[in-house]
Chain A
Amino acid sequence: MNAHQSALPILIILAPLLTSFALPVLGWWYRPAVFPVALIALTVSCGTAIVAAREVLVNGPLHYYLGGWAPPWGVELRIDSLGALMLLLITVLTLLIGIYSKKSVVKEIPSKDVPFYSVYLVMVAGLAGLVSTADMFNLYVFLEITSLASYALVSIGGGAAVVSAFRYVILGTVGAAFYLLAVGYLYSMTGSLNMADLSRILPGLYDSTTVLVGFAFFVIGISIKMALFPMHTWLPGAYANAPSAVSALLAATSTKVAAYVLVRVMFFVFEPRFSIEVIPVTTLLGWMGAVAMILGSVMAIAQSDFKRMLAYSSVAQIGYIVLGIGLANTAGFTGGILHLINHAFMKGGLFLVAGAIVYRTGLREIREFRGLSLKMPVTAATFAVCALAMVGIPPTGGFFSKFYLILGAIDAGNWVFVGVIVLSSVLALAYLANVLRYMYFPGEAAAGRGGELPVPGPIIRDEVPWSMLGPMLAVAAGIVLLGVFSGEVVGQFIEPSTPDGLAR
């Protein structure tokens, strides 16, 4: 085997993991050093991911054999171009949210900064591991590391968040248990856990009931983890009650990585023809995605709490990603992955805005946002950029992913999906424009409500500090850049990893 071996994949995981163990000791000894050290670890991870991505683009997939044991016996880490894209997404966003979190943590969860940053780093290590591992059982371990970290992060704020976290623990564990069962079934048939090895052995076993059952358990387990519509009930509470920085982190990364795992196993461990023909799970996923898009958006419209609205909107946006995967053709796949990336930036940005508003004003109800564009112009502008991207206005990334999704739906000849994508975008416009209206047109918003609330007096400009504005602006810039350079992202990262056997 002359695979391109490199230590870069393990460095991305180890930098945050080892630092997270050191942080509690460091915090006990010299507390102000905790945040800079955490930031250094995130920066190392991010830099390594960039170097690794360049390597992957030049020389092809990177491999790392843990302990020197070659696959299929040893645990292997593997980064291909899709994995490199996901690693870039994770490390860049966690670094930005890490910078942002400093002030937000001091304000929302004072005296909890040491546990916050150590668990935050465990989460980053788990996410990076989930993306780069090439071993089915190792994936389970990273899945649980990530989940445990997110339970702790959600509950760190106390109060209602702890109740939401407990609900998340129960459902998340059921999802992981289903995944474990799937691994058990697949192992009992193949005797292997390595993904590349499995993909060689499995085609001969596609008729086996055991493999079918294992695959079904896998899809259900991962659907719970990524909050696909009927299994989304843990998500709104967890996102809405968690501290702002945690909401942004979860919304930007955890469900996205679960969607990536779904793609990885459905199309790379199993062949696309298995997921499409042998057991028509792609059709099922496509329709579930469509239902999630409509019902998630409708429930988002019904919310008065800003963060809860964003959480329900996340349920809808997961639907887009799953619909793209379910279309099972090249354009749909491209659209699904592209939307995964774009939505990580958009929803991450929106939760950062929500956190900034809570930081400065303590407001959470949308109708209290009146005149916020005068008080916090930069925050409001960031919100506007993210909102336009969510709806899919051309220069932003959201337009291109929806464009590919519609193209994929047309290729598949499924006009219902085309209608659903357009309808869901209109519904997204409905709930986001409502917020924009309160922010930018306070007078009209009051008139629309019968003018029961007096228009506030002269508003003093009072923005959040630069350490929060910087990451928000960077995310907003990222959204626009992802749109402008979407051709490069598709050509360099997504196309080389598009599985063979998808319909054109």
Chain B
Amino acid sequence: MVGTLFDFVIGHFNTVTYIILMMIGFYAMTGKTNLVKKLVGMNIFQWSIILFVVSLAAKRGATIPIVVGGPDQNAERVLDVADYVNPLPHVLMLTAIVVGVAVTGVALALLLRIHRRYGTLEEDELLERVRTSE
């Protein structure tokens, strides 16, 4: 029983890692009252998924996907699919990272405005002050 569980964890190392990270992020988003900690939790949540998708394309001992000599050369010089790392997940996640940075930037700007207006980033105090200021 312990053996099979161990095998599962080793065999699905990337899946297990991303789920653990995701749950840490989820805990921070739901369990913490400080808004900055919620934001950090959101970031961990996002990055866990990015890490997972990048890990899908990882391949031990593989090479970069550059065709030597260009596409016009004869077919033997073209790399075999099994020998190179699929670049697409990395490229997609690069875009996802950019999106994530943009979201973080917007969220930080919002926190700045909240702090200027209400002078706190603790959720319970904040909700109290929002209620009294209306």
Chain A residues with CB under 8 Å of chain B are 137, 140-141, 144, 147-148, 151-152, 155, 158-160, 162-163, 165-166, 169-170, 173-174, 176-177, 180-181, 183-184, 187-188
Q: How far is the CB of A472 from chain B (nearest CB, A)?
A: 27
The residue among A141, A159, A180 with the most chain B CB atoms within 10 A of its own CB is A180
Q: Are A174 and B42 in contact (CB under 8 A)?
A: yes
Inter-chain contacts of A180 with B (CB < 8 A): 49-50, 53, 96
Q: Are A177 and B45 in contact (CB under 8 A)?
A: yes
The distance in angstroms between the C-alpha atoms of A159 and B130, with both chains bound, is: 8
Q: Are A144 and B45 in contact (CB under 8 A)?
A: no
Inter-chain contacts of A147 with B (CB < 8 A): 103
The distance in angstroms between the C-alpha atoms of A181 and B96, with both chains bound, is: 11
Interface contacts beyond A173-B103, A187-B92: sample of 12 additional A-B pairs, CB < 8 Å, sorted by A: A141-B99, A144-B102, A151-B107, A159-B117, A159-B130, A160-B133, A162-B110, A169-B103, A170-B39, A181-B49, A184-B49, A187-B53
- The chain A residue sitting closest to B131, CB to CB, is A160
List, sorted by A's number, 21 A–B pairs whose CB atoms are closer than 8 Å.
A140-B96, A141-B95, A141-B99, A144-B103, A147-B103, A151-B106, A155-B113, A162-B110, A162-B113, A166-B114, A169-B42, A169-B103, A170-B38, A170-B39, A173-B42, A180-B49, A184-B49, A184-B52, A184-B56, A187-B56, A188-B56
Beyond A137-B92, A181-B49, A187-B89, is A169–B114 a contact (Cβ under 8 Å)?
no
Pick from A137, A165, A177, A184: contact of B110, CB under 8 Å = A165
Beyond A144-B102, A163-B126, A181-B49, is A170–B134 a contact (Cβ under 8 Å)?
no
Pick from A148, A158, A176, A184: contact of B53, CB under 8 Å = A184
Inter-chain contacts of A137 with B (CB < 8 A): 92, 95
Q: Are B134 and A160 in contact (CB under 8 A)?
A: yes
Q: How far is the CB of A231 from chain B (nearest CB, A)?
A: 13
Inter-chain contacts of A160 with B (CB < 8 A): 130, 133-134
Size of interface on B: residues with Cβ below 8 Å to A: 32
The distance in angstroms between the C-alpha atoms of A188 and B45, with both chains bound, is: 20
- The chain A residue sitting closest to B126, CB to CB, is A163
Inter-chain contacts of A170 with B (CB < 8 A): 29, 38-39, 42, 107
Q: How far is the CB of A240 from chain B (nearest CB, A)?
A: 11
The distance in angstroms between the C-alpha atoms of A181 and B26, with both chains bound, is: 15
Please classify the interface of chain B as helix (H, G, I), strand (E, B), loop, or mixed, using the class held by over half of its residues. Answer: helix
Inter-chain contacts of A184 with B (CB < 8 A): 49, 52-53, 56, 89
Q: Are B102 and A174 in contact (CB under 8 A)?
A: no
The distance in angstroms between the C-alpha atoms of A184 and B89, with both chains bound, is: 8
- The chain A residue sitting closest to B18, CB to CB, is A181
- The chain B residue sitting closest to A179, CB to CB, is B49
Q: Are B38 and A173 in contact (CB under 8 A)?
A: no
Inter-chain contacts of A141 with B (CB < 8 A): 95, 99
The distance in angstroms between the C-alpha atoms of A365 and B79, with both chains bound, is: 69
The distance in angstroms between the C-alpha atoms of A181 and B106, with both chains bound, is: 22
Q: Is B111 an interface residue (CB 8 A)?
A: yes
Inter-chain contacts of A140 with B (CB < 8 A): 96, 99
Q: Is B34 an interface residue (CB 8 A)?
A: no
Q: Are B49 and A162 in contact (CB under 8 A)?
A: no
Inter-chain contacts of B111 with A (CB < 8 A): 166
Q: Are A155 and B110 in contact (CB under 8 A)?
A: yes
The distance in angstroms between the C-alpha atoms of A148 and B105, with both chains bound, is: 10
- The chain A residue sitting closest to B115, CB to CB, is A162
Q: Are A152 and B106 in contact (CB under 8 A)?
A: yes
The distance in angstroms between the C-alpha atoms of A176 and B56, with both chains bound, is: 19
Q: Are B39 and A159 in contact (CB under 8 A)?
A: no
- The chain B residue sitting closest to A181, CB to CB, is B49
- The chain A residue sitting closest to B105, CB to CB, is A148
The distance in angstroms between the C-alpha atoms of A151 and B111, with both chains bound, is: 12
Q: Are B130 and A151 in contact (CB under 8 A)?
A: no
The distance in angstroms between the C-alpha atoms of A141 and B102, with both chains bound, is: 12
Q: How far is the CB of B71 from chain A (nearest CB, A)?
A: 13
Q: Is B17 an interface residue (CB 8 A)?
A: no
Which A-B residue pairs are the 10 nearest by beta carbons?
A184-B53, A144-B99, A166-B110, A169-B107, A188-B56, A162-B113, A181-B49, A160-B130, A177-B46, A177-B49
Q: How far is the CB of A139 from chain B (nearest CB, A)?
A: 12
- The chain A residue sitting closest to B114, CB to CB, is A162
Inter-chain contacts of A181 with B (CB < 8 A): 49, 52-53
- The chain A residue sitting closest to B113, CB to CB, is A162
List B residues 89-123 near A (Cβ within 8 Å): 89, 92, 95-96, 99, 102-103, 106-107, 110-111, 113-114, 117
List B residues 41-62 near A (Cβ within 8 Å): 42, 45-46, 49-50, 52-53, 56
Q: How far is the CB of B84 from chain A (nearest CB, A)?
A: 14
The distance in angstroms between the C-alpha atoms of A137 and B92, with both chains bound, is: 8
Inter-chain contacts of B113 with A (CB < 8 A): 155, 158, 162
Q: How far is the CB of B17 from chain A (nearest CB, A)?
A: 14
Pick from B46, B117, B127: contact of A162, CB under 8 Å = B117
The residue among B29, B88, B92, B134 with the most chain A CB atoms within 10 A of its own CB is B92
The distance in angstroms between the C-alpha atoms of A493 and B134, with both chains bound, is: 46
Q: Are A166 and B35 in contact (CB under 8 A)?
A: yes
The distance in angstroms between the C-alpha atoms of A301 and B22, with both chains bound, is: 38
Q: How far is the CB of A161 from chain B (nearest CB, A)?
A: 10
Q: How far is the CB of A75 from chain B (nearest CB, A)?
A: 11
The distance in angstroms between the C-alpha atoms of A52 and B133, with both chains bound, is: 49
Inter-chain contacts of A162 with B (CB < 8 A): 110, 113-114, 117
The distance in angstroms between the C-alpha atoms of A169 and B106, with both chains bound, is: 8
Q: Are B114 and A163 in contact (CB under 8 A)?
A: yes
